[in-house]
Amino acid sequence: MSTIAATEFLPLVATAGVARDFIVVSLHDVAPSSQQVANTIISELARHGVRVCSLLVVPDFHHQGLFTEDRQFVSWLRGLAAEGHEIVIHGYFHERPRRAKETLRDKFLTRFYTQHEGEFYDLGYDEALRRIASARDEFRAHGLNPRGFVAPAWLLGDEAERAACDAQMEYTTRLRTVCDLRSGDVFSARTLVYSVENNWRRAVSRTWNAAMFRFLKIKPLLRISIHPPDYFHPTIWRQILALITATSSVRTATTYQDWIAEQRLRR
């Protein structure tokens, strides 16, 4: 790949190139209904050295209405993008109705693991392409230019991944990987993520992420995924900030699109 082709992916890639190791903090489920807490989270992250995030925006969260109908929300997103934050397409409805004749694995992943939000888990190619392309066009029509697509709960079936590529998405992520859809390169990079629905899930999440952090902190890319409800649980939020603080002197905060562009330049 030529330098021109790589750098046209994002103009900010050079700002991340001065360090070897990186951290991407992604904020999921961004929608008008979560704007207030999302803005608070972004402000607190900035005070802890994370000045750019990947913001995963749901076009029509749980069928509550298209985000494009909220002019103030759109203006807010544009302002964040102008500051260097990345806007990412995060599903379309972030909701998956139950299917007939689901296997035990299907039920576990879509009901227990993700609580009916694995929208792109088994979505067919045509419908996946329609939703992703519609989201892309809606974002672009309102002055936003998303490069990446991340499926809710990272449950992305093969047909849906092909649709994301055909919809001109540059990359996607899963729980354990980041995938460059243009080149096909798959980078091993597990994310830290929390489940906060009840006390035992929160306790397990804190223990698991503390252990995983000791393993992941030596990796070139550290990923931390935040959902709006995380902020309302003080023990969870304190741990998130502690993990970020522990890496602030050795990692550069970046976004997924910048990180992908950096890998392309290195090749």
Give, in order, the Cα–Cα distances in Å from 206 to each of 16, 112, 120, 199, 214.
29, 19, 28, 11, 13
169 within 8 A of 89, measured Cβ to Cβ: yes
Give, in order, the Cα–Cα distances in Å from 97 to each of 62, 93, 100, 102, 223.
11, 11, 10, 11, 29
d(Cα 80, Cα 86) in Å, to the nearest integer? Answer: 8
Handedness of CA 76, 143, 55, 23 (dihedral sign): negative
Domain ranges of the chain: 3-266
Note down pLDDT in tens along the chain; length 267 residues: 333 334 344 444 444 444 469 999 999 999 999 999 999 999 999 999 999 999 999 999 989 999 999 999 999 999 999 999 999 999 999 775 566 666 666 555 555 556 656 688 889 999 999 999 999 999 999 999 999 999 999 999 999 999 999 999 999 999 999 999 999 999 999 999 999 989 999 999 999 999 999 999 999 999 999 999 999 999 999 999 999 999 999 999 999 999 999 999 988
169 within 8 A of 147, measured Cβ to Cβ: yes
- The structure's pTM equals 0.88
d(Cα 232, Cα 247) in Å, to the nearest integer? Answer: 23
> Burial level of 187, CB count in 10 A (0-12/13-18/19+)?
middle
d(Cα 121, Cα 158) in Å, to the nearest integer? Answer: 9
Q: List the structure tokens of 27.
A: 């904020």
To the nearest 10°, report the CA torsion of 240, 244, 247, 249.
-150
- Considering the four listed CATH numbers 3.20.20.30, 3.40.140.10, 3.20.20.370, 1.10.1740.10, the one that applies to the domain covering 3-266 is 3.20.20.370
* Residue 227 phi, psi dihedral angles, 5° rounding: -115, 145
* Residue 56 phi, psi dihedral angles, 5° rounding: -90, 105
